[in-house]
Structure 1
Amino acid sequence: MRLKPPPLALAGLLAALLVPAAILIGLLSGSSGWGWPKGDILWLIRVPRVLAAFGTGAALALSGALIQLVTRNPLGDPHVLGVTSGASVGALLALLLLPAGFWLGPEVGAMFGALASMTLVFSLTWRSMGRGLSPSAQPGTVVVLLVGVMIGAACGACVSFMLAMANDAQLRNIVFWLLGDLNGASMWWPVWGALAITFAISWPQARQLDWLARGDAWAWTLGVPVAKRRRLAILAACIATGVAVATAGSIGFVGLVGPHVVRLTGLRNARMLLPFSALFGGVFLVLADTFARVVIAPAQLPVGVVSAGFGVPLFLMLLLRRRA
């Protein structure tokens, strides 16, 4: 008889091995080659970039886990609520309208865009997010998903219009930002602050999120304020996603794949799923950014291209394995 290790011990061992290894690989790699960097290259370029990559990946994976819990949808992702698309619109408007080199222009624009899309989702679904207890009512989770998809489609149309109106000098920056790019990402601390705020909002209510994931009626019978918990969880996910997009641009599949990989270790309750999803998302994006820097060195790929290249087959493998 084979004895399997406890899920928490296995996940803890993987985290203890993968997190330091990913950070070390990120510090040792660069477009100029491998090796320990000296002086300013280490502290002004590589350390901020690795911290920004880890924080962005952790924020996106944590947001994906929260959305999957409250919507009871395994395909839940920050893109579903339209927050990523709204942040992209705000950042592109800043790139087009503000002078070149304007300090924190795209970041501030992305934050306002994420806030605007989040406010629009809340205003259109505020009442619906508390429904779903009656068999005749349209479940609030379905309404949130549909409204998020429609807002994302509208923002996509705005992005296409701005791409058509941009000149050649602006077009390259816009395209790289849309694909996700950590080159020059020196502002790493906002995404870590957003990650801490998201944890502070969601983790103390992890048990109630588990009950909510079983269904509104189940949670209601156990005394969970369904509407309040769902709104707070979605608000926390929007905060983390907005700051992550402001830091690194539009990066997909991290929030979708991260929670699924953690569940494969056996950690399915929210108290363990949320922190370990964040750790895996951070490791995944640091390694993806490392690959983006070295695969065609001295040139660099946008990290969003690499995350999609690895995330799509990984998610398909997980999906097919689950169906089998």
Structure 2
Amino acid sequence: MTLRPPPLIAAAVIALLAVPCAIWLGLMLGSSGWGWTSPDIVWLIRVPRVMAAFGTGAALALGGALIQIVTRNPLSDPHVLGVTSGASVGALIALMWLPAFALAAELGATIGALLSTSLVFALAWRGMGRGLLPGAQTGTVVVLLVGVMIGAACGAAVSFMLAIANDQQLRNIIFWLLGDLNGVTHWWPVWAGVGMASLMAWPHARELDLMSRGDGWAWTLGVPVAKRRRVALLASCVCVGAAVATAGSIGFVGLVAPHMVRLLGLRSAQWLLPFSALLGGVFLVLADAVARTVIAPSQLPVGVVSAAVGVPVFLVLLLRRRAGQ
């Protein structure tokens, strides 16, 4: 008989090894070469970029885990459900029309994420409820279709803003929409967003676990379902808004990281949320290191690398879920 370590110990060991290794690789790898090339390059460019990448990955992973718990849908992701697209629209509106306002992008992205999330829930709520009935068709497809529709509407709004932008704004907007960490200096807002969302959601982890089994089940055990759902969604929107404002539209981190944690055996929200944030940060730091070096001295947008990993993972999960029905 093979003895396996408990899931929590295994996840803690992996996190303790992966986090410093990813940060070290992020600091050593760059488009200018390997190693400690110059103190100015390391401290003024690589350190803020690694901090921003880790915080953005943690925010997207935490937001994705919260959305998956609330929707009871393991295929949910801020990008797939159109939340990231809504945040992008809000951030672009703030940047184009309120450029001098402090934290305009962060506030605009959070409001955009909240509005798009509210639309998804309002339009897909009946389909989600059907998944709770014995023998009824799951609401997964309904939620995904509504998310795609919201994302398409937000894409049209982004296209309109691109059409009216001047030449100076156009290139920056395109790279920002692809998800780009090049030139990031203000990394603290996304870390503040992760901290705020964690304080909002993590103390209620046990109640979130009960909600993941069904609203009726949680309600009979005394959980204020509507209140907890609103708080969890607001926390997710804070995460996604801060991430989009920092690095633009980066997809599939919120899908990959929580599933990595579940593969380790951690399904309780008490441990799923913090370990998803840690592994999401590791994932995006490594993805950004690849984006900086794969075609050096040029750089790829990090969103291209995350999508290259996330799309196959999403398709595999979708096919496995359909095969299990």
Q: TM-score normalised by the shorter chain: which range applies?
A: 0.7 to 0.9
Tell me: CA distance 1:27–1:13, structure 2 relative to 1, closer, same or farther (3 Å): same
Cα drift, residue 143 of structure 1: 9.1
Cα drift, residue 77 of structure 1: 1.1
**Corresponding position of 2:39:** 39
Map 1:83-232 → 2, pairs under 5 A = 83-94=83-94, 96-97=96-97, 108-109=104-105, 111-119=107-115, 121-122=117-118, 150-232=149-231
Distance in 1 separating the partners of 2:278 and 2:39: 28
Q: TM-score, normalised by structure 1?
A: 0.87
2:285 alignment partner AA: V
**Corresponding position of 1:53:** 53
**Corresponding position of 2:22:** 22
Map 1:267-286 → 2, pairs under 5 A = 267-286=266-285
Cα drift, residue 188 of structure 1: 0.6
Paired residues of 1:83 and 1:152 also in contact (CA < 8 A): yes
Tell me: CA distance 1:97–1:55, structure 2 relative to 1, closer, same or farther (3 Å): same
Map 1:253-268 → 2, pairs under 5 A = 253-268=252-267
1:112 alignment partner AA: G
Distance in 2 separating the partners of 1:125 and 1:72: 12
Cα drift, residue 9 of structure 1: 1.1
Distance in 2 separating the partners of 1:37 and 1:103: 35
Tell me: CA distance 1:113–1:5, structure 2 relative to 1, closer, same or farther (3 Å): closer
> What is the CA deviation profile of residues 130-188 of structure 1, one whole-angstrom value per residue up to 9, with x for unaligned ones?
995997xxx99999877655443322110122223334443321211111000011111
Tell me: CA distance 1:16–1:321, structure 2 relative to 1, closer, same or farther (3 Å): farther
SS at match of 2:2: coil
Paired residues of 2:59 and 2:190 also in contact (CA < 8 A): yes
Any gaps of 5 or more consecutive residues in structure 2? none
**Corresponding position of 1:292:** 291
Distance in 1 separating the partners of 2:121 and 2:320: 34
Single out whichever of 244-253 and 166-175 deviates more from structure 2.
Answer: 166-175
Single out whichever of 35-44 and 287-296 deviates more from structure 2.
Answer: 35-44
1:165 alignment partner AA: I
Distance in 2 separating the partners of 1:96 and 1:116: 15
Distance in 1 separating the partners of 2:100 and 2:27: 26
Single out whichever of 49-58 and 164-173 deviates more from structure 2.
Answer: 164-173
2:152 alignment partner AA: A
Paired residues of 1:190 and 1:243 also in contact (CA < 8 A): yes
Determine whether 1:63 maps to 2:59. Answer: no
Paired residues of 2:89 and 2:112 also in contact (CA < 8 A): no
Tell me: CA distance 1:93–1:112, structure 2 relative to 1, closer, same or farther (3 Å): closer
Cα drift, residue 80 of structure 1: 5.0
Q: CA RMSD in A?
A: 3.0
Q: TM-score, normalised by structure 2?
A: 0.87
2:107 alignment partner AA: M
Distance in 1 separating the partners of 2:39 and 2:8: 39
Distance in 2 separating the partners of 1:104 and 1:289: 29
2:230 alignment partner AA: R
1:76 alignment partner AA: S
Tell me: CA distance 1:238–1:95, structure 2 relative to 1, closer, same or farther (3 Å): closer
Paired residues of 1:117 and 1:151 also in contact (CA < 8 A): no
Single out whichever of 251-260 and 311-320 deviates more from structure 2.
Answer: 311-320
1:57 alignment partner AA: G
Determine whether 1:7 maps to 2:7. Answer: yes
Distance in 2 separating the partners of 1:81 and 1:309: 18
SS at match of 1:66: helix
> What is the CA deviation profile of residues 1-39 of structure 1, one whole-angstrom value per residue up to 9, with x for unaligned ones?
111211111111110111000000000011110011432
Distance in 1 separating the partners of 2:120 and 2:22: 41
Paired residues of 2:86 and 2:115 also in contact (CA < 8 A): no
Distance in 2 separating the partners of 1:141 and 1:311: 18
Any gaps of 5 or more consecutive residues in structure 1? none
> What is the CA deviation profile of residues 83-102 of structure 1, one whole-angstrom value per residue up to 9, with x for unaligned ones?
3222212333355457xxx6
Distance in 1 separating the partners of 2:119 and 2:72: 21
Tell me: CA distance 1:305–1:292, structure 2 relative to 1, closer, same or farther (3 Å): same
Distance in 2 separating the partners of 1:124 and 1:85: 12
**Corresponding position of 2:310:** 311
Distance in 2 separating the partners of 1:272 and 1:121: 24
